[in-house]
Amino acid sequence: MKTLLAIVAPLMLLLMPETALAQAGIPLVSVQPSAAGGNDYSMSIQILLLMTLLTLIPAALITMTSFTRILIVLAILRQALGTAQTPSNQIILGLSLFLSLFIMAPVFETAWVTALQPYMNETVGFSEALDAAKIPFREFMFGQTRETDLLLFAELGGYEPFNTRDDVPMVVLLPSFLTSELKTAFQIGFLMFVPFLIIDLVVAAVLMSMGMMMLSPMLISLPFKLMLFVLIDGWSLIAATLVTSFTV
């Protein structure tokens, strides 16, 4: 609810008619020098910047959260089961999204308390709120990123060795995080694929020994794989494995 309010409130402000702002004597675009030597932007500019950030939410969902790893693992699981389009892409996307929200809940809560809430209460400026919102996401990404990937992209970018995590720019952290997520997702997918592969091999060997070479092994092994997956409560195990694989 808090996150929804943080998104809806700027939308309501943006939909206010321009004439109301003009009648109130508030300029639509203004930049005033601040006491600290910087610039204070008018609310309309801040709302425009905020709406621009909202358009980047899909990209941020993929590049800064647990969504990528979960989606890849579930896609590999469907391939291992051999169920073609079951569950459908919409179900896999929905499950990935809500598992991501569950995993990222502490990060979102921290960003709300330290950045969005003070900004909505007008106790901090837009730039300060943006800097504060980055901190929990950076900590989450550092927890999943391998040091070798960080060193690789720092070297490719021509950066000097970093002394602290605060020195690592986002342009280095984001690709490092995504690369580490891909590696981890495929490692989990490999370990998950092996039992189903063994079932396929056993069924194929049995059919070959019986001379039933015209019968597709996949057709016979599918019920056994589904039975195994149901008996071990596979969906709960996969969800638990994905959740515990993240360091939050």
**Better-predicted residue by pLDDT, 179 or 32:** 179
Contacts 24+ apart (CB under 8 A), 47-54: 47/10, 47/13, 47/14, 49/126, 50/10, 50/126, 51/10, 51/11, 51/14, 54/7, 54/10
Indicate the pTM of the whole model: 0.73
CA distances from 69 to 66, 143, 170, 186, 243 (A): 6, 14, 19, 8, 11
Is 119 part of any domain?
yes
Is 236 part of any domain?
yes
Q: What is the count of structural domains for the chain?
A: 1
Q: What share of the chain is helix, strand, coil (3-state, %, to 5)?
A: 75, 0, 25
β-strand partners of 33? 39
Chain length of the chain: 248
Q: What is the pLDDT of residue 210?
A: 78
3-state secondary structure of 32: strand
Q: What is the pLDDT of residue 184?
A: 92
Q: What is the pLDDT of residue 21?
A: 39
Q: Is it the case that residue 148 has pLDDT exceeding 80?
A: yes
Contact 172, 153 (CB under 8 A): yes
Is 102 part of any domain?
yes
Is 33 part of any domain?
no
Q: What is the pLDDT of residue 44?
A: 62
Q: What is the pLDDT of residue 14?
A: 39
Question: Worst-scoring range by mean pLDDT, 9-18, 177-186, 203-212, 227-236?
Answer: 9-18
Is 186 part of any domain?
yes
Average pLDDT over residues 196-218: 79
Is 20 part of any domain?
no
Q: What is the pLDDT of residue 28?
A: 40
Rounded to whole angstroms, how far apart are CA atoms 23 and 157? 51
Q: Is it the case that residue 9 has pLDDT exceeding 60?
A: no
pLDDT tens, residue by residue, 19-51: 343 444 444 444 444 444 444 545 566 677 667
**Better-predicted residue by pLDDT, 219 or 19:** 219
Percent of the chain with pLDDT over 70: 79
Confidence of residue 186 (pLDDT cuts 50, 70, 90): very high
pLDDT tens, residue by residue, 73-92: 999 998 888 887 888 889 99
Is 36 part of any domain?
no
Please name the amino acid found at residue 198.
I
Domain limits at 182?
2-10+67-73+86-244
CA distances from 246 to 102, 180, 198 (A): 11, 12, 28
The CB density around residue 232, as the number of other CB atoms within 10 Å, is 11
Confidence of residue 16 (pLDDT cuts 50, 70, 90): very low
Q: What is the pLDDT of residue 30?
A: 45
Is 211 part of any domain?
yes
